[in-house]
Structure 1
Amino acid sequence: MLLVFGLWMTTAQAQLAPGSRAPDFKAPAAMAGKPFEFDLQAALDQGPVVVYFYPKAFTSGCTIEAQLFAQAMDDFKAVNTTVVGVSGDDIDTLKKFSEGPCGGKFPVAADPDGKIIKAYDAGFAIIPGMADRISYAVAPDGTILQTYESMSPDQHVTRTLAAVRDWHAQQPSAKTK
């Protein structure tokens, strides 16, 4: 349950389950203020990807979450993992957000029409068109390794990083080293 606008609301939803296929997407994105097109498949070709959804750039929880991901980017890079944040914000807002709270360390993608949010069952039930705070760790083959949903931003980094590290530890190449 979550207190929103003075009302207790449930945030339960039908998230994509571990083992299911992550929907592919391309979206306008920004990193360090520079716009480009984020391509999930191209990122997966390089290794695991964390796709995290957040409600709105520059709000307190979303700013905290972006800062936590930015602080952990060296840890994600150490396990060859790309991180991308996705929200319903427009690209101009995300150019600024990518420079500010994201520290220029990872991209944020714009989904103003909500197609990616819908494909990932990441919609915020009580505010249509807005993303819930939900994170997916995705293996290079497109399989979802882990799903974590919580309006609190403080465990998304820890949980997704642990899922990617666990995945790496189970790979045959890791066992022969």
Structure 2
Amino acid sequence: MLQVGQEAPDFEAESSQGKIKLSDFKGKKSVILYFYPKAFTPGCSRELQRFTELYDEFKEHNVEIIGVSVDSLSSVKKFSEKYNAKFPLISDKEKKIVTAYGVLNEKGTSAQRVTFIIDENGKIINILDKLKKAEEHADRALEVIKSKK
């Protein structure tokens, strides 16, 4: 897995809101890049709901949120619609992004639940993993963002 202080690998991918390129945010916004194992599972649903609930607060701090899973594009679009996600969810079916970030699970079937906090310069400033509850990722990421200001 990548480490704090490293440059976040750039990527271009299809999402629930069209094509996204990480480098488009460089110099403009910080990015919360969170990886989740599987759409519509209880933990992933709670995590998406919590990021959605806190979305306006993240925006106040000039932060963009992007969710990533290896689910199909149609699945991430349905997942996004069901929970009214205000931010893009990426379909990484080819597993290029999860591999670049070192978060592919041991079986090679899905992403591990890991959240990367990336600053405006494209550097990883914090990594959240091994939290007890999926929805804690949103709250902890917001705490990190607030502490950096």
**What SS does structure 2 have at the residue aligned with 1:98?**
helix
**What SS does structure 2 have at the residue aligned with 1:105?**
coil
1:112 paired to 2:98: no
Matches within 5 A, 1:16-165: 16-31=2-17, 36-101=18-83, 103-125=84-106, 127-150=107-130, 152-165=133-146
Offset of residue 166 of structure 1: 2.4
After TM superposition, the runs of 4+ consecutive aligned structure 1 residues lying more than 3 A away are none
Offset of residue 45 of structure 1: 3.6
Between 89-98 and 152-161, report the one with greater CA deviation: 152-161
How many residue pairs get matched? 148
Is contact 1:113-1:129 (8 Å) kept?
A: no
Work out the CA distance in 2 between the residues paired with 1:26 and 1:165: 28
Between 41-50 and 64-73, report the one with greater CA deviation: 41-50
Where in structure 1 are there 5+ consecutive unaligned residues?
1-14, 170-177
Q: What value does the CA root-mean-square deviation take over the aligned residues?
A: 1.3
The normalised TM-score by structure 1 is 0.80
The normalised TM-score by structure 2 is 0.94
| 1:129 aligned partner, one-letter code | T
The percentage of counterpart residues that share the same residue type is 34
Where in structure 2 are there 5+ consecutive unaligned residues?
none
- Deviations for 1:146-170, whole angstroms, at most 9, x for unmatched residues? 0011363032012211222222x2x
Report 1 or 2 for greater relative contact order, CA contacts < 8 Å, sequence distance ≥ 6.
2
- Deviations for 1:94-121, whole angstroms, at most 9, x for unmatched residues? 11111112x1311100100111001001
